[in-house]
Every structure is written in C-alpha cells, then in structure tokens.
C-alpha cells in the first residue's frame, strides 16, 4: 500500500534498479544532474596568482561513460502526462538527450544557466566556461506556473555554489546553488507534487523541493554523497514529519551501502517483467586497488549482462572491480601475480604486520608534507635564484648545504621501519630539488613567472617524489621481496597508489621503473584505503572468498565450476604489450583459455577483452554470443594501445 503523508524518500542504490520499481506515471517532475562525461576533457587545476589553484578537475565518476539512451525509457515511463523533465547537461551530452527524448514529448527546449563568477582564463586563450545547459521537455497541458514575461526567459543567472552553502566534506564538483533550483521547481510543479532526482549527489534539489513543500525522491549510489544529502534534506523537515519519513539505507542491515529493495519506496510496488534481473550490485564495494585494465568503468556493460548463479569464479581478479560488485554464495578468485594475491590474503586475514607497515608508509608520507611545511626557506632559496641573486652553481651548492644540515630531519621522515631507505632518500631529495628548481626557472623564461602557490606545489612535489623514489628502491630490493613479504606487500600497495597513472612497468633487470605521479598525487593518502580494507562489509565479503595464486587453467580445473556457477574473465589482452605483472601471457595462453571455455567448461562464463582478429577468430563459434562496446583509455602505455578502441563482451549464454 502507498505510504500516507510522506515527504521524502532517500535511497542509496543504483538508480537504474530503483527506477524499475517506480510505478508508471507516478512522478510529477524529474529534475536531475547526471554525469556530463567531461572528465576526459579536463585540463587540470587552474593556477591563480598569489593563491591556491582553482580546482578544475572532475570526480572519478565523471570518467565513467554515461549513455542517456540507457535511462530515457524509464524516465519517460514514470513521468505523469502533466509532468516536466529537466536535466542539467553539458555541450557534449545535449544532443544525445535530444535524440532520446525529443520524439517522446510535444515540446523539447533548453535553458542556459549563466554562472556570474566562472573560473577565469589565466592564459586568455578562449571563452570562460560560464554556462551550463538544462534540457527541458513536456507535453501539452503540463504543469506550468508562468511568472511574468520578464521572468520567464530560458536564461537563469546566479553565482556558482559558494560557501557557506557549498559543502567542503564531501566536496561535490557539480553542486548547484539552491536558489536557481527553487526557481525552476516553483515554475514546473505545484505544492505536494513529487520531484524525482535519480542522481541526488549531495541533495541540493531535495533541499529546494522541501523548502517549497514538494515531496522528494532522491537516489544516490555514492555513500559519502548520500550521507551528506540525507543530513541536508532531513534538516529541512520539522520533527512532526519524522515518523513518516525515512532515509532508505539498507533494510537488511545497519550498513549504509546495501541495495534498497522495493518496500522502501512510498508506492505500491508494480511487478514488471524486467525485474527478474538478478540483484548483482547489492554490495556497492569499491575495487581493492588501481589495476591496469581494471573494469570499474565497464561495470555498466558487465552487470546488466550477468546470468543467475550460485558461486562466482574469477581467474584474473586484478583490482577486483567485478568481484566486489556482484553477489554470490561463494567466491573463488585467482591471480598469477603473487604480490596481488598477497594483498588479498592480508586483507582477508586482516594481517597486523602488513597493516603496521602500510600505516608506517602513510605516516612517512604525512611527515614528508610536514618536512616541506617546516622548511619554507626552500621558497626563498628558489626566489633568490629566480631574481638572479644566486647563480646556478650557487643554487646547487645551497641545496647541498641544506640537505646536509637537514640530514637528521630527512632520516626521521622515514620512521624506524623504513630506515634502510635513508641514504637513497637523502640523495633523491638533493637531486629532485635541484632538478625541480632548474626546470621551474626554464619554464618561467619561456612562459612567464609562476605564481607562488605553483612554486610551492612544485617544491612539495620534489620532496614527495624523492620519498616515492626511496620507497620504490625498497620495493625493488630483492632481499625485501624474499625476506619480508609483508613489508614488500605494503610497498607494492604504496607504489600502486602513487605511480604515474597507476602504470606498472619493469626494466630489463626486472626493476619497477615508473616515476611518481606528480603534483596531483601530493594530497593523496592511503589512509582511507586502509580503513576500507578493515571495514566490516569488505571483511564479510572475504569470509565467503577463497584466494588462489595459480595459472588460470590449474585454478579452474582444480575448483571445477559447475553449471550453476559463473566465471568472469578479464585476461591480458592479445597485443604486443602482453606482460601481465611480470608474467608473460602469450597467444598460446589465449588458445589454452579458449579451449577450456569452449570445450571443457560446464559453467556460464563472460569474457571481456580487446577486439582483435585473433581473439574474434577464437570465439566466433556456434552457441557463443559476442557483443561489443567502446573503451577509452586514460593513458596510453607507450603508444601500445589506442586511446579509444573496441572491446568484446563474449558469453556462452544469451
């Protein structure tokens, strides 16, 4: 039965699944701000003279491909004939929304939100990014509260969301000011109407809707955003409403990251044929670590195509993006990289010594920041070189003296567990400071004087890069690899987090040789990741998981997946770049894999892999289903892969 007198319904879940549970023609206004897919176009932070750089980056979720056509059917279905649909969007998505929705409504149009205080163009090489689009559509006899000719231009103006309204924790890069949201809601709805926001973020639309006495359904998948939205939206209600209002976190547990089932919606649930799809994202856990070829962005293709199954097998688990996203009775995961499976084992057993070393590395990283802050004379040193007071030779000599004077402080930075890297750290700090100052001066001669904050960021990078190189040296130390695997595991985790673009590459001697990620990595911390590794939901997953470090064929034949089980496979790609965590994976291995899947496997399986003639030829067989999708790489590995290429999703079931 429908819940009477409700005012809000906040749901932490994948909105695709929740939308399927909302009855036809039950929502008065869909007002939302989905991903813009502009991550790949970001130019990074914008330097500002005399102050901190302006954050021009976007969140990780905006790198995930977002396809409006995958949402259009459900949005249209749940909207009342008298309802309106408004979608914040960007230039690259406006046409896609038009193609999906224009033919379904009597009228489609757009608004422009003009931001009166946009980020400046420091280098004066283009227009300021001062406008965002709002795609709008409706049918005849739609709800519409016309204000006046002067007030009804399809142009709305305000500053971007600023403090104190703008949240700092969590910081949402697309938070909209409530003032413009209220104006739009007031025009497009009446009191007590239902406003649906499938991409709630930190809840600004909900705050605006409740302020105008509308009812609100907000859906958000991100745990941190959901908590912030819940707090903001609930603050809009007086205590008299609290008995009939709720935030739907997880009716099955006390955790806030579970899937929300239908009885948490304030409607009578209408069972639909497509709701037979298995609940495969009820965990909402993050991948364990960044891994080349990780499938977090491809979950949008993988999860909707999963079959029903009991046990889950993954022979090439990598960072665990799929493993942590699906629900099964038991999990069997494997990888040929012993470093990786060691990490899995340490997390599964919550190994104290491993976490002791990992926390020591986090502390060391924090001490590097403190060392930089306590030595502000480095800035003065560079400024004297910048102004010609010091020659290059004088600068290099001054840095040598600085490092000698700070010898004890540099050693203390490492703590007692990492002192064996002391000599390397001292050498690297001296070398990095010299290189960084010389390079900054050369850059200034070409482009003009750098802001003080940019100089400080570069000097901090010199310190952090030196520490990274010292820890990389320990990681490559064969005595640690063989003699102290838990320290080696902690170093492996650190390198995975701070290596440039998450790449892993080894030289002819077998030493890892990828440099530090740079300025953008200075503020990264592994502390949250370590907290995640010790979290109850992840621990629960590992209590159901068995971990292996074997060749994929040995793993599969020893565990024998049955017809009620499912195998997800993300093997190394068929390309010249076929080294997998220092283990070759050749075309012969691809043939072994195909032979097992096609001729011996009894379980249902899905293979995701780059499309090549060789791979397509292996699997283009009767009874095998091959789909394709486009994948964009964030970085090209020495030009061995195209920035955008076709991938195959291959299954032995329809």
Q: Point out the least confidently predicted range of 72-76, 291-295, 547-551.
A: 291-295
pLDDT (average), residues 632-649: 53
Q: Output the pLDDT for position 278.
A: 39
Residue 288 lies in a domain: no
pLDDT digits (tens, 9 = 90+) for 348-381: 999 999 999 999 999 999 999 999 999 999 999 9
Three-state secondary structure call for residue 76: helix
Clarify whether residues 492 and 612 are in a common domain. no
Q: Tell me: the pLDDT tens digits for 325-337?
A: 899 999 999 999 9
Mean pLDDT of 403-416: 92
* Cα–Cα distance, 459 to 436 (Å, whole number): 7
- Both 558 and 503 in one domain: the answer is no
And the tokens for 133? Answer: 């689009």
Answer yes or no: do 512 and 596 share one domain.
no
Q: Is residue 289 part of a domain?
A: no
Centroid of chain to Cα 11: 20
- Tokens 């000698």 — which residue? 404
Cα–Cα nearest to 86, from 182, 8, 9, 165: 182
User: How does pLDDT run across 205-259, given as a tens digit for each residue?
Assistant: 999 999 999 999 999 988 888 989 998 888 887 543 333 343 444 333 333 333 3
3-class secondary structure, 70? helix
Domain that holds residue 234: 8-44+53-266
Residue 373 placed within a domain:
yes
C-alpha–C-alpha distance, residues 358 and 364, integer Å: 10
User: What's the confidence (pLDDT) of residue 66?
Assistant: 75
- pLDDT classification of 277: cutoffs 50, 70, 90: very low
My answer on whether 484 and 507 are in the same domain is yes
Domain endpoint, select from 220, 243, 266: 266
d(C-alpha 118, C-alpha 159), whole Å: 8
* Rounded CA separation 638/24 (Å): 51
Query: What token pair was written down for 397?
Result: 């000599």
CB contact at 8 A, 256 and 235? no
Same domain, 152 and 207: yes
- The answer on 501 and 434 residing in a single domain is yes
What value does the mean pLDDT take over residues 192-209? Answer: 93
Note whether 199 and 220 are within 8 A (CB): yes
If asked whether residues 19 and 113 sit together in one domain, one would say yes
Cα–Cα dist 41/230, whole Å? 31
Q: Which residues contact 53 (CB under 8 A, 6 or more apart)?
A: 45, 46, 47, 453, 454, 457
The pLDDT of residue 633 is: 44
The segment with the largest mean pLDDT, out of 234-248, 272-286, 638-652, is: 638-652
Calpha distance 360→226 (Å, rounded): 32
| Last residue of one domain, picked from the residues 528, 549, 581 | 528
Whole-angstrom distance, CA of residue 136 vs CA of residue 102: 9
157 and 66 share one domain: yes
- What does pLDDT average to over the chain? 83
Percent of the chain with pLDDT over 90: 50
DSSP designation for 9 = E
Per-residue CA distances from 183 to 155, 177, 314 (Å): 12, 11, 50
What are the residues facing 51 on neighbouring strands?
A: 48
Whether the predicted pLDDT of 625 surpasses 60: yes
β-partners of residue 107 are 138
In the three-class reduction of DSSP (H, G, I as helix; E, B as strand; rest coil), residue 105 is classed as: coil
Q: Is residue 62 part of a domain?
A: yes
Q: Is residue 539 part of a domain?
A: yes
3-class secondary-structure state, position 433 = helix
Inside any domain, residue 279: no
- Which pLDDT value is given to residue 605? 98
Range in 163-167, 183-187, 527-531 the model is least confident about? 163-167
Q: Is the pLDDT of residue 127 over 70?
A: yes
Residue 346 lies in a domain: no
Q: At 562, which CATH number?
A: 3.40.50.150
Domain finish residue from 528, 550, 568: 528
450-466 mean pLDDT: 94
- Contacts for 333 with CB less than 8 Å, ≥ 6 apart: 313, 314, 317, 320, 323, 344, 545, 546, 547, 548
Confidence at residue 45, expressed as pLDDT on a 0 to 100 scale: 53
Give, in degrees to the nearest 5, the angle at Cα 54 between 50 and 55: 150
Give the range among 123-132, 340-349, 609-618 with minimum mean pLDDT.
Answer: 123-132
> From CA 229, how far away is CA 200, in angstroms rounded?
7
Backbone angles phi, psi at 425, to 5 degrees: -60, -45
Peptide bond into 101 cis (omega under 30): no
pLDDT greater than 80 at residue 64: no
Q: Is residue 327 part of a domain?
A: yes
Gyration radius (Cα) of the chain, Å: 27
My answer on whether 185 and 309 are in the same domain is: no
Residue whose pair of structure tokens reads 């005012």 in the numeric block: 7
Residues 304, 388 within the same domain: no
Tally of CB atoms within 10 A around 640: 11
The Cα 326–Cα 403 span in angstroms is 51
What's the domain count of the chain?
3
Lowest mean pLDDT among 46-55, 223-232, 509-518: 46-55
Q: What is the pLDDT of residues 293-307, one digit of tens each?
A: 788 878 878 988 999
91 and 235 both lie in a single domain = yes
Mark whether 362 and 501 lie in a shared domain: yes
| Cα 581 to Cα 504: distance, rounded to the nearest angstrom | 7
Q: Summarize the confidence of residues 513-538 as an average pLDDT.
A: 90
């Amino acid at each position: 039965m429908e819940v009477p007198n409700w005012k809000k319904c906040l749901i932490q879940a994948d909105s695709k699944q929740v939308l399927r549970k909302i009855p036809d023609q039950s929502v008065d206004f869909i007002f939302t701000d989905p991903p813009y897919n502009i991550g790949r176009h970001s130019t990074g932070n914008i330097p500002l003279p005399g102050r901190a750089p302006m954050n021009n980056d976007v969140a990780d979720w905006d790198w995930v491909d977002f396809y409006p056509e995958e949402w259009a059917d459900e949005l249209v279905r749940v909207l009342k004939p008298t309802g309106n649909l408004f979608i914040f969007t960007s230039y690259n998505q406006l046409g896609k929304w038009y193609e999906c929705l224009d033919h379904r409504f009597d009228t489609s149009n757009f608004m422009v939100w003009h931001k009166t205080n946009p980020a400046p163009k420091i280098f004066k090489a283009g227009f300021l990014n001062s406008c965002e689009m709002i795609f709008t559509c409706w049918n005849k006899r739609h709800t519409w509260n016309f204000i006046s000719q002067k007030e009804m231009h399809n142009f709305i103006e305000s500053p971007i969301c600023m403090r104190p309204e703008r949240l700092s924790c969590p910081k949402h890069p697309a938070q909209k000011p409530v003032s413009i949201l209220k104006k739009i809601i007031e025009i497009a709805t009446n009191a007590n109407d239902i406003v649906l926001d499938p991409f709630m973020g930190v809840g600004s639309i909900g705050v605006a809707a409740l302020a105008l006495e509308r009812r609100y359904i907000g859906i958000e998948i991100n745990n941190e955003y959901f908590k912030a939205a819940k707090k903001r939206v609930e603050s809009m209600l007086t205590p008299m409403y609290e008995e009939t209002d709720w935030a739907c976190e997880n009716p099955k547990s006390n955790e806030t990251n579970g899937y929300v089932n239908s009885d948490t919606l304030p409607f009578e649930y209408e069972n639909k044929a497509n709701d037979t799809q298995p609940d495969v994202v009820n965990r909402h856990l993050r991948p364990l670590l960044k891994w080349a070829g990780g499938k977090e962005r491809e979950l949008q293709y993988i999860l909707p195509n999963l079959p029903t199954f009991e046990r889950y097998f993954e022979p090439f688990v990598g960072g665990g993006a799929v493993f942590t996203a699906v629900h099964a009775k038991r999990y069997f995961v494997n990888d040929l990289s012993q470093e990786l499976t060691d990490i899995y084992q340490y997390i599964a057993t919550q190994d104290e010594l491993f976490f002791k070393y990992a926390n020591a590395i986090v502390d060391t990283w924090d001490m590097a920041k403190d060392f930089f802050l306590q030595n502000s004379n480095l800035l003065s040193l560079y400024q004297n070189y910048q102004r010609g007071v010091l020659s290059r030779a004088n600068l290099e000599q001054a840095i040598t003296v600085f490092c000698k004077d700070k010898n004890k402080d540099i050693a203390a930075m490492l703590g007692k567990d990492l002192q064996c890297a002391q000599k390397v750290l001292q050498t690297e700090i001296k070398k990095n400071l010299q290189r960084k100052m010389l390079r900054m001066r050369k850059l200034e001669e070409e482009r003009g004087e750098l802001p003080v904050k940019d100089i400080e960021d570069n000097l901090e990078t010199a310190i952090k890069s030196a520490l990274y190189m010292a820890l990389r040296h320990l990681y490559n130390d064969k005595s640690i690899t063989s003699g102290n695997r838990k320290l080696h595991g902690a170093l492996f985790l650190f390198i995975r987090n701070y290596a440039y673009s998450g790449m892993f590459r080894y030289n002819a001697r077998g030493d890892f040789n990828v440099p530090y990620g740079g300025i953008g990595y200075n503020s990264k911390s592994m502390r949250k990741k370590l907290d995640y590794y010790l979290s109850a939901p992840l621990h629960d997953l590992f209590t159901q998981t068995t971990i292996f470090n074997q060749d994929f064929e040995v793993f599969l034949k020893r565990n024998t997946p049955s017809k009620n089980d499912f195998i997800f496979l993300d093997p190394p790609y068929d390309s010249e770049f076929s080294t997998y965590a220092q283990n070759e994976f050749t075309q012969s291995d691809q043939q072994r894999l195909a032979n097992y899947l096609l001729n011996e496997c009894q379980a249902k399986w899905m293979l995701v892999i780059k499309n090549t003639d060789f791979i397509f030829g292996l699997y283009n067989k009767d009874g095998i289903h091959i789909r394709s999708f486009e994948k964009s790489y964030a970085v090209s590995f020495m030009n061995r892969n195209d920035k955008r290429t076709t991938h195959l999703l291959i299954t032995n079931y329809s």
